[in-house]
Structure 1
Amino acid sequence: MQQLEKKHKPRDYPKIRELAEEVDQVISREGMRRRSVAISLLQEYADLPVHPRLVPSSDGAMEAIIFTLPAYAVVGANNPLWRAYQDLFLKLPTYTTLYLLVHETVKEEVQNWLEKYELMHRTMLQTAPERYEMTIWAEDEYEPVYEEKEGKFFMVQPHTNRRTGDERASYLIGQKFGWSRARVPVYFEGGNMLVGDDFLLVGANYAVDTYTDLREQLLPLQNFTVGKAISQLFQKYLDKERAIYFIGSTLQIPAERRRTFYRDGEEWQELFFMKNTESSAQPIFHIDMFISLAGRGEEGKYRVLVGDPRMAADSLQNDHDDLATPEVFDDIADLLTQLGFDVIRNPLPLVYVDDEAERVRKWYFATSNNALVEVKANDEKTVWLPSYGHGNWQELEKTDQENKAIWQQLGFNVILLENFHPFAEHNGAVHCIKKYLKRGRVGE
C-alpha cells in the first residue's frame, strides 16, 4: 500500500468509551471445536424446531423488531448513539412493535422518551441489571426461528457467542420475553446471513468455522461434498426449506494490519482491514456490510445490491479504493450473478477517522448496504438508509444521495437516517443494531 498524505479527520462527535473497548472475545479454535461437539452430544435432550423457518431480511412488513440498549448507548449529553436510535424509532412504521431490552439504570430515561413521543403503546420494554454486559449489536446474538407446523417460536443460538455481552443479552432476552432458547452445533452470527424469500445467503467464513468445528463428525459421511454437508446442517437447525448459498471470494484477502506513519512529526498508527482474519473469504467480516436484499424485479429475479468501493472513490475523486480491495467485491458480485441474482452495484466509500488521543487512524466502510429493507408489495417498498455526509465528512453527502437514487430507481421509498459514523467506525450500521422478530407476508 502506497503511503499518501491525507487530510486530518478527527471525530466531531463524542467518543463512547465502552463501545470503543468492545472487542471480540474470541476463544481458541480448540475451544470452539470442543464446544461445538459438546452441543452436538446434547442435542438428544434439546427442544428444537423440527421444521425451522427464518424471518426474512427484506420481504414482508416489519411487524416486530428487537433492540438491545446498554447504558452506554443512552447516557451522556449529546450521545451520538442515542441520537441515532431516537431518529430511527421515530422513522419506523407505526405498525412496528419495538422489543427493547435496556439496562435498569436508563429505563426511566428511555421510558420517558417513549412516552413523550407516544411510542409506549407499541413497545415491549424490559430491563437488565447493569452488571450484565450487553452490546448494541442485536443482530448477531441469535436467530428467531419459527416451527412452521406448530407455530412455536425459538431463539436459536450458535454453539458459542464470541462476545460475552452477546451471550448474556440473548439469555436475558429469552427470560424477559418468555422465548425458548436452543443451542445448535453450527456457528453463525446474524450479520453474516441474509434471508431471502426462498434462499439464505451465508458468509463463507462461518461455513468454514462450522466445518472446522465439526469435521470429525462430517468426514464419515459418504458421497457428500463439504458444501452439501454444511448446507444440510444449516438447513437442519435454521431453515428447512430455503436453498443455501455460501458467499465469499476465491481471491486472497488481506487480514487486519497496522502500519506507522508520521503527522506533524508525531508517530501515528494506521489500522486497515479491521476484523478481517487470516485466510478470510470475505472482504468485510459480515456480508450485511456490503450486500443488501431488494426483493424480486418484474422478471422474477431476486435483486441484490453489492457495494463497490471503486464506484465510491470515482464519485468522491479520491484514491481510497487502493486500500479497499475492490476486485474482491467484484468477484462476489460475479458469484451472485452466476447464482442467478440480478446484481446492482452501489457506492461503498472507504473512509477514516483520526483519534487524536491515541494517535490512531482507523479505516472503515461508510456502508449504505447495512440498511433496513421492507418489501410489502411490488408497489409498496421502503428502505431506511444510514447517512454519512456529516461534520468532517460532508463530501459523503454525494454518495448518500447516489445510494438514495439507486434505491429510488428500484421503486423504493427512501428514508435517510441520522449520522451513522459512530457505529460504522466499529464495523456496523443500522442493520447490525436490530433483530427482525416478525414479518408479514408479501402482498398482505
Structure 2
Amino acid sequence: MTAPIPPAVATHIPVAAPALVADCGGLIGQIALAVPTAFFQSADVFGGCRPLVPIGNLIRAFPAELEVCLLVDDTAVRLANNWIASLDSLCSLRLAVLDSSAGVVPGPWIQDMFHVRTASARHTGFDHACDMQFVLVPGNPVGRCLADFLAVAVAELSLDLPGGNQLVGGDFRLIGHSDLQRASPVDTSSCNPLRMLDPRPVSVFGYRLHSGPASADTAFSRLHQYGFHVDQFVSLTGLHQEGRPLLLVGEPHLAEQGSILVDNARMLLDASVALLVEQGFAVIRNPVPFVVAPDSGKRLPRLYNNVIVENAVREGRSKPMVWLPQFADAEPLANDDARNCMLWEELGFDVVPVPGWSHLASRNGALRCASKVLKRIMDQDPCKLNFHG
C-alpha cells in the first residue's frame, strides 16, 4: 500500500523570454497532432492494431475551447477529412497539409519534431504579430509547414534534442542524459545551443552505474539513461512538495511472473529516482506494467507517465485537468488504469482517461509523444493554482 500523499501546491515562476512552452501550468489553448498516411490503412497492415483509435480518442477528449492543428500529407487529405467527420469531437480542428514536394509526415510522434517558444510582444526577436516561435533543425519540413500554416516565426538551431527527451517546468528543464551528453552541457556560454533554446536551468534524468556522492561531473561523464526518452517514465505535475518540484516516476512491475527485464528496469529507475532527489526534486512512484505488445510480441512498458497536464482550472470545472493514457480497452490492465487514475486524483486533478493506447504500445509512445502544446494561457490567480488550499 502506498503511503498517503502530503498536500502539494502548484506554482509557476515566470521565465525570461523567449522560453519554451512548459509541460505544466496554464490552460492549453492550441495543440498540434500528426497522422502519417499509413495510419489510414486497414488494421491488417498493423497486425490488427488500429493506430487511429487512440489519436481519435484524444481529439474527442479535448474541450470545446481548445484548438487542434492536425498535420497530414497532401495525399491523405480526403481520408483525413472523412476520419475527422467520424469523430464528433467538441474541440475546433484545423487541417494543416504537408506538400509532398517538401516531405512526408514521418510518424505520429510530433513531440519530437520541433520546439515551441513564446515571448512578450515587445521582445525584439519576434517580428510576427503572434508571440509564438518554432525552433527547428535546418531542413525540418514538418515544423516549417506548421509554422507557415499558423503564420508564426521560425528560428533554426542545430540542436538535435527530441521533445520527448525534455520536460519543461515553470523554472527548470529535465533532459535525458543521452541527449544532454551530445549537447555539450559543460559549455555554459550563451552560445551553447541548450542555453540558446531556453534560459531555464537544466537537470538531468539518468543513473549512475555505481553509487557514490554527487560531484561536479555527475550529470555528464558517469551517467547512463534508462529508456529512449524521459517522458516515457517521468511526468511533471506542476506541483511542489516541501518546496521541491513534484515528479511522478514509473515503477515497473510484472503481475504474472518474475522477469529479468522488469527487475532490471526497476533497478535502473530506482537509481534514476535517487539522482532526481539529489537534484532537488520530490518523487512519487506510479505503477507501470510491462506487457507483451499485441502486434510485435515484445514485452514493453505501458507509458502511463506520458501525459498532458494543466494546473489552472477551466470554466465549469473545480479542478485542473490531466489527460491520462489508458490500456484496458484492449489489454487486461484495468487495475493499472484505475491505480494511475487514482494517484492523479489524490493529487487534486480531474483525470480525463484516454483509452486505446495499446494500439501504439509497440511504438514506445503515448499521448504526450503524439501531441505538441503550442499555446498555454498562463493563469497567475493563486486561487486557481492552489487547489489543495
Q: Could you state the TM-score of these two structures normalised by the residue count of structure 2? A: 0.78
1:6-25 maps to which residues of 2 (within 5 A)? none
Equivalent position of 1:341 in the other structure: 281
Q: What is the aligned counterpart of 1:293 among 236, 253, 258? A: 236
Aligned to 1:405: 342
Q: Percent same amino acid at aligned positions?
A: 26
- Name which structure has the greater RCO, CA cutoff 8 Å, separation 6+: 2
- What is the rounded CA distance, in whole Å, between the counterparts of 1:61 and 1:123 in structure 2? 17
Letter in 2 for 1:347: P
TM-aligned CA distance change 1:85 to 1:322, over 3 Å: closer
Whole-angstrom CA distance in 2 between matches of 1:366 and 1:179: 35
Does the 8 A contact of 1:52 with 1:236 survive in 2? Answer: no
**Does residue 182 of the first structure (1) align with residue 119 of the second (2)?**
no
Pick the aligned partner of 2:207 from 223, 242, 249.
249
C-alpha distance in structure 2 between counterparts of 1:340 and 1:280, whole Å: 18
Alignment deviations for residues 332-370 of structure 1 (CA, whole Å, 9 cap, x no partner): 111222222220001111222376xxxx74232111001
CA distance 1:280–1:354, shift in 2 (3 Å): farther
Structure 1 residue 419 displacement after superposition: 1.8
Partner of 2:373: helix, strand, or coil? Answer: strand
What is the CA distance between 1:136 and its match in structure 2? 0.9
C-alpha contact (below 8 Å) 2:27/2:378 kept by paired residues: yes
Please identify the structure whose Cα radius of gyration is greater: 1
The equivalent of 2:33 in structure 1 is 67
Are residues 231 and 187 of structure 1, via their aligned partners in 2, closer, same or farther at CA, if it must alter by over 3 Å? Answer: farther
5+ long unaligned stretches in structure 2: 1-15, 211-221, 382-389
Distance change >3 Å, CA 146–CA 308, structure 1 → 2 = same
**Within the alignment, does 1:437 sit opposite 2:374 as a pair?**
yes
Task: Kindly indicate whether residue 320 of structure 2 is the aligned counterpart of residue 381 of structure 1.
Answer: yes
1:102 — aligned with what?
A: 72
The answer to whether the 8 A contact 2:327-2:337 is kept is yes
3-state SS, counterpart of residue 273 of structure 2: helix
> Does structure 1 residue 153 correspond to structure 2 residue 132?
yes
Change (3 A) 1:404 1:371: same
Q: Which residue of 2 aligns with 1:270?
A: none
- Contact 2:49/2:294 (CA < 8 Å) preserved in 1? no
Q: 2:111 matched to which residue of 1?
A: 139
CA separation of 1:369 and 1:121: change in aligned 2, threshold 3 A: closer
Residues 1:54 and 2:20 aligned together: yes
SS at structure 2 position matched to 1:59: coil
CA distance in structure 2 between the aligned counterparts of 1:228 and 1:407, rounded to whole angstroms:
38
User: Per residue, is there more helix in 1 or in 2?
Assistant: 1
Contact in 2 for aligned 1:111/1:120 (Cα 8 Å): no
Q: Secondary structure at the match of 2:161?
A: coil
Looking at structure 2, the residues matched to 230 and 427 of structure 1 have their Cα atoms a distance apart, in angstroms, of 35
Q: Distance in 1 between matches of 2:99 and 2:138?
A: 25
Counterpart contact for 2:231–2:305, Cα < 8 Å: yes
In structure 2, distance between residues paired with 1:305 and 1:291: 6
Runs of 4 or more consecutive aligned structure 1 residues displaced over 6 Å after TM superposition: none
Shift of residue 206, structure 1, vs aligned partner: 0.8
> Displacement, 1:106?
3.0
CA distance in 2, matches of 1:205, 1:250: 13
Give the match for residue 281 of structure 1: 224
- Cα distance in 2, alignment partners of residues 231 and 173 from structure 1: 28
Alignment partner of 1:365 is 2:294: no
Deviates more, 1:199-208 or 1:333-342: 333-342
The alpha-carbon deviation at position 292 of structure 1 amounts to 0.1
- What secondary structure does 1:332 align onto? helix
Q: Which whole-Å CA distance do the structure 2 matches of 1:347 and 1:130 have between them?
A: 42
Alpha-carbon distance in structure 2 between the residues aligned to 1:280 and 1:73: 37
**CA distance 1:72–1:318, shift in 2 (3 Å):** same
Counterpart CA distance in 2 for 1:81 and 1:289 is 18
> What is the DSSP-based 3-state SS (H/G/I as helix, E as strand, rest coil) of the residue aligned with 1:94?
coil
> What is the Cα deviation at residue 298 of structure 1?
6.5
Aligned length: 338
